[in-house]
């Protein structure tokens, strides 16, 4: 009986399951990102993203230099596709930490679509325009995340700075590309410039519509209590003593699908407590906005926003609370940036009561 060499078996297996490989690679990459990337300000997360950007940039240079000599090695296209896919899935994970479905669904959908479309775009990656536009999308998304960390602030001007740095980097990169593949750059420069401009315009529009997650901020916790006061000195490192009615257990469907009920006596206020993560050295104001659901209008009515500053560095988030004057009905406390981007929110129902229910004490 003749034995078949192992490498032939492996090749046959790959050929037979070739159409499933992109989906498996995507799943494994997503699992890897979930367990390894963590916070957006960690050295490992940034080293991973930068490494993929550098390898992808090198692939584009070599691929186009060889294409001018009528040689297009498919393994380079596969490597480029691999880098783009891992970049997109990694950025999706980092942005999703700061995202809410209500506030950021469109941007997350765009990133997710990029991840899935990348798995089937190998032929398109033979075109220089497609390579550079895809690269610019990922570079702009990464700089939109990391520039606020480096500057220590967030806001419209910081985001525009991120976009400007991305365009400047692309201009330098295209200059280097022109040195090794001048014909390829000349033949497609109009389409490339149009693509880069459109990508930048879309990012800016999404930002000012508050559809981009407020990276690198993320909501770690939000609860509504009957009272929040300074914690006793012997409760360190807790700084707040919060008294509330307690939450439904995690295994209860009510915990996920029902707004908690807060029983208040006439004249009592609700206390909204939140913990918002920010990287080291980043300081910015955030706002608690109390909104009431008007049953007659069938719409939320926004009230005043109460501001307080936060400072970065605590993994569990910077803690703070506000006091809201509420009446019986459905309410929500939204945590927002200065520009109005939604970081997260809690919905709760206020019920008027003649007595104070039993309260649980928590130290935050």
What domains can be seen in the chain, in order of their start residue?
A: 6-208 (no CATH), 218-363 (2.60.40.1930)
Among the ranges given (53-67, 137-151, 309-323), the one the predictor scored with the smallest mean pLDDT: 53-67
Tens of pLDDT along 248-305?
666 666 656 678 899 999 889 999 999 999 998 899 999 999 999 999 899 999 988 9
Looking at per-residue pLDDT, the higher value among 341 and 115 belongs to: 341
Arithmetic mean of pLDDT over the chain: 85
Tens of pLDDT along 121-172?
656 666 888 889 999 999 999 999 999 999 999 999 999 999 999 999 999 9
**Is the confidence at residue 99, as pLDDT, over 80?**
no
**Is the confidence at residue 351, as pLDDT, over 80?**
yes
**Is the confidence at residue 105, as pLDDT, over 50?**
yes
3-state secondary structure of 41: coil
In angstroms, rounded to a whole number, what is the distance separating the alpha carbons of residues 200 and 305? Answer: 31
Strand ranges across the sheet with 283-294:
261-264, 342-352, 329-337, 283-294, 299-311
Banded pLDDT at 17 (limits 50, 70, 90): very low
What average pLDDT score do residues 306-311 get? 93
What average pLDDT score do residues 28-54 get? 79
What does the pLDDT read at residue 359?
92
Look up the pTM and report it.
0.85
Tens of pLDDT along 210-232?
999 999 999 999 999 999 999 98
In angstroms, rounded to a whole number, what is the distance separating the alpha carbons of residues 178 and 255? Answer: 58
CA 254-316-274 angle, 5° bins: 55
């Amino acid at each position: 009986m003749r034995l078949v060499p192992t490498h032939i078996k492996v090749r046959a297996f790959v050929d037979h399951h070739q159409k499933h490989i992109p989906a498996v690679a995507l799943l494994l990459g997503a699992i890897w990102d979930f367990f390894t990337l963590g916070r957006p300000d960690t050295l490992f997360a940034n080293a991973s993203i930068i490494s993929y950007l550098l390898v992808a940039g090198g692939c584009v240079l070599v691929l186009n230099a060889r294409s001018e000599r009528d040689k297009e090695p498919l393994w380079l296209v596969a490597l480029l596709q691999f880098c783009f896919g891992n970049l997109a899935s990694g950025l999706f994970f980092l942005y999703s930490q700061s995202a809410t479905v209500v506030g950021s669904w469109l941007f997350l959908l765009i990133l997710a679509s990029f991840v899935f479309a990348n798995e089937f775009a190998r032929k398109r990656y033979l075109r220089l325009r497609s390579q550079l536009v895809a690269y610019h999308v990922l570079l702009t998304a990464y700089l939109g995340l990391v520039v606020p960390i480096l500057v220590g602030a967030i806001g419209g001007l910081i985001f525009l700075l991120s976009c400007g740095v991305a365009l400047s980097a692309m201009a330098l990169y295209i200059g280097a590309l022109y040195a090794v593949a001048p014909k390829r750059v000349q033949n497609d420069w109009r389409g490339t410039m149009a693509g880069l401009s459109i990508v930048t315009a879309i990012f800016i529009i999404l930002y000012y519509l508050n559809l981009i997650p407020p990276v690198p901020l993320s909501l770690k916790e939000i609860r509504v209590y009957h009272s929040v006061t300074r914690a006793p000195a012997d409760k360190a490192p807790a700084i707040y003593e919060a008294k509330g009615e307690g939450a439904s257990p995690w295994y209860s469907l009510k915990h996920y699908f029902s707004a908690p009920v807060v029983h208040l006596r006439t004249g009592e206020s609700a206390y909204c407590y939140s913990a918002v993560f920010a990287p080291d050295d980043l300081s910015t104001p955030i706002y608690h906005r109390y909104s009431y659901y008007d049953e007659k209008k069938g719409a939320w009515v926004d009230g005043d926003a109460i501001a307080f500053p936060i400072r970065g560095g605590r993994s569990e988030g910077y803690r703070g609370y506000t006091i809201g004057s509420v009446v019986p009905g459905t309410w929500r406390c939204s945590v927002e940036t200065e520009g109005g981007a939604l970081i997260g929110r809690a919905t709760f129902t206020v019920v008027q009561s003649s007595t104070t229910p039993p309260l649980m004490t928590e130290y935050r």
